[in-house]
Amino acid sequence: MSQAHYLLKRRDPPPSLSLVLPVYNEEEVLPLLLARLREFVPTLPSAVEIIFVNDGSTDRTLELLLAAAAADRRIRVLSLARNFGHQMAATAGLDKASGDAVVLMDADLQDPPELIHDMIRAYCDGYDVVYAQRVARSGDGWFKRGTAWVFYRIMRWCIHRDLPVDTGDFRLISRNCLAALRPMRELHRFLRGMITWVGFPQTAVRFERPARAAGVSKYPLRRMLLLSWNAAVSFSPLPLRLSFAVGGAIAGVGAAYGVYAFVRAALGLYVVPGWTSSIVVTCLIGGAIMISVGILGEYVGRIFEEIKQRPLYIVNVSANTGLDTDVDLHICDADASASLPPR
């Protein structure tokens, strides 16, 4: 990955570290995750807070999280009022994080906590973003591996040439990078692209991704395709340019067909009269127009949603967070959460 040249300056490990974990219907894996974190957190060189963001789970996830928070004040819980989506849940956790460095990770144990030690070493070398890059994916079939490979390459092509491939949201970001990221309050979010866009020194730690500890993936192919479309439209005008190219290609086909028919007629060759050619050309042109209008409408719809300036998420229940009312109703204003909390 090419990036600007930075003068890296060594530094001490972060005095405090926030772990942010969005969760959705993870009651099966939570006991395993909590036990793993209890063993792992004492090995870190920093004071640790663990922020779980419950993204509108319909199982016992919230109940288990609140019980864990009651037993350990380092565990903080934000429960959203409904399912806002993984990127919004991750944003809620990043907004609340108060550590000198923040690690964003999934709760299914496919993001091994032990890798954070390598991330902290890279942080001490002067990097502000340390992302986990997969070199292998245990437990995934060939179709999942193939679609993931295509997804990350298309995202790099569509969104940002420096977007790292084979990486999820598992990464460490410094306080400086977080301060640059948090004012970005767009409704349609793709955090990987946003973190790449803000810059700062970035590097990878490579690992073999283990299989899920329990439960099933919450990111099937349909959601991956939706995420890729959302990222492409939110970050790049490329779909508009592609629609222009498709329209131009179809117009070229129509023009070539017209020249072909004219030449045949001029040479006295038989030209099929009737509807076939007219219908084909009409359908091609009409399809190109509809595709272009549909893509343009997608951009206009996003502008419409952005200008409403609604909050990105709403917190319904919280525990150990220092909000006005823990384990009670609390509405989080997006404008208020855009500024850094007092340290």
What is the total residue count of the chain?
343
pLDDT higher than threshold 50 for residue 331: no
Confidence of residue 15 (pLDDT cuts 50, 70, 90): very high
145 vs 128: CA distance, rounded Å: 29
pLDDT higher than threshold 70 for residue 133: yes
Q: Check residue 48 and give its pLDDT.
A: 93
In this structure, of 104-118, 183-197, 299-313, 315-329, the range with the lowest mean pLDDT score is: 315-329
pLDDT higher than threshold 90 for residue 191: no
283 vs 285: CA distance, rounded Å: 6
Q: Check residue 341 and give its pLDDT.
A: 39
Q: Check residue 51 and give its pLDDT.
A: 95
How far CA 276 is from CA of 259, 273, 280, in Å, comes to: 17, 8, 6
Q: Which of 207, 198, 48 is nearest to 129 (CA)?
A: 198
Mean pLDDT of the chain: 78
Q: Check residue 328 and give its pLDDT.
A: 41
**Helices assigned H by DSSP within the chain:** 30-40, 61-71, 86-96, 116-124, 142-158, 175-181, 191-198, 221-235, 238-266, 276-307, 334-337
